[in-house]
Structure 1
Amino acid sequence: MLPENLLTRRAAILMRSFISGLMENWLFAPQSFDLKKEARAYVTILLEMYQLCPTLRASTVNGSP
């Protein structure tokens, strides 16, 4: 589950950058990693960033993430 205070615009930009970079790397050098085999891991990594990264969270009233 994603945090309630997730900065969704920032998260969307991060997702697009993550996927674009991953695809660019794979298209440039497809032999460097098995995209089909590792795709689930990359999705998990992205979701973990959303769940755990404090800079992807809106500040609370007292100013802490």
Structure 2
Amino acid sequence: MPGEFRDARVRRPFNFAFNFQVINRELFYNQHKRMVRAPRGLPNEQELALLHPLRSQVPNEVFMTA
């Protein structure tokens, strides 16, 4: 990944600018289904146990926002 795209603050606006519904309808004739796999809420106890060794590599928002 090019250097400027390693920063999540640079990548995040592309999520808002990309219009999946329009692109899917106009270019792909509604052949694609959008996947919803984003975690919601704070990590549970088991997830925290997995994340703890990687804490320095995981954005703080993961631990603070629901």
- Please, what TM-score do these two structures have when normalized by structure 2? 0.29
- Please, what TM-score do these two structures have when normalized by structure 1? 0.29
| Greater RCO, CA 8 A, separation 6+ | 1
More helix as a share of residues: 1
